[in-house]
Amino acid sequence: MSDKAALRGQLLAARAALTGDDVSDAAEELARTALELDELADARTVAAYVSVGREPGTRALLETLRRRGIRVLLPVLLPDNDLDWGVYEGPERLAKATRGLLEPLGPRLGPDAVLRADAVLLPGLAVDEEGVRLGRGGGSYDRVLHRLARAGVVPELIVLLYANEVVTRIPKEPHDHPVHAVVTPEGVRRFEPPTSAV
């Protein structure tokens, strides 16, 4: 088992041990903390995602961004694990999709729609002290980050996590792109601006 796979296993086990109250309390704090970010307050378009299961909660955050008049893009998983995008129009306009994900109803905007985002909220399992993000290993967001870098577009890259998921070191691979900030229910940590790995 690789170091990344072992770390993923530990982090997923810790999430599985959270109670429903733990998750909902953290979601409230996470939304409050994230909404204070200048990077989101100044954004016209934010690419985000709908949290599922024990992921740090995003639903209150999505709704508040939408009510502020910010255009929120949500991912639509394609058969090859790449991501298309659609506009978030409220919780009643979400549909169950593959792998238990919730996706927006309405027109698909294409994988390049993310290039117009001022900020991208990334799911993850951990971020280390250098801003390296550990995802679940499916590669969907690695493709998004590669697409942004290839286009020379540099939105704010922000990961939403629980406090224990900010770790000392994650084994870095050539395709890994550092992020700008991590938001936990306890606060925000910013990193040196990432340089393109492409």
Q: How far apart are CA 88 and CA 91, in angstroms?
A: 8
Mind listing the pLDDT tens digit for each residue in 68-93?
999 999 999 999 999 999 999 999 99
Q: What is the pLDDT of residue 69?
A: 95
Q: How far apart are CA 144 and CA 160, in angstroms?
A: 17
Are 27 and 59 in contact by the 8 Å Cβ rule? The answer is: yes
Nearest to 87 by CA among 114, 68, 55, 58: 114
Annotated binding-site members: 4-8, 50, 55, 133-141
User: 1: Cβ–Cβ under 8 A, 6 or more apart, which residues?
Assistant: 9
Q: Which long-range contacts (CB under 8 A, 24 or more apart) does 101-109 make?
A: 101/50, 101/52, 101/77, 102/50, 102/52, 103/50, 103/74, 103/75, 103/76, 103/77, 104/74, 104/76, 108/76, 108/84, 109/73, 109/84, 109/85
Are 125 and 142 in contact by the 8 Å Cβ rule? The answer is: no
Q: How far apart are CA 62 and CA 50, in angstroms?
A: 8
Domain extents for the chain? 3-190
Q: What confidence tier does 3 reach under pLDDT thresholds 50, 70, 90?
A: confident
Looking at residues 41-70, what average pLDDT do you find? 94
> Quick check: 14 pLDDT over 80?
yes
Q: What is the pLDDT of residue 196?
A: 47
3-190 to CATH, choices 3.40.50.460, 3.40.50.10420, 1.10.3720.10, 3.40.50.720: 3.40.50.10420
Give the global pTM.
Answer: 0.92
Q: How far apart are CA 186 and CA 162, in angstroms?
A: 8
Annotated binding-site members for ATP: 4-8, 133-141
Tokens of 51: 């949290």
Q: What confidence tier does 193 reach under pLDDT thresholds 50, 70, 90?
A: low
Annotated binding-site members for substrate: 50, 55
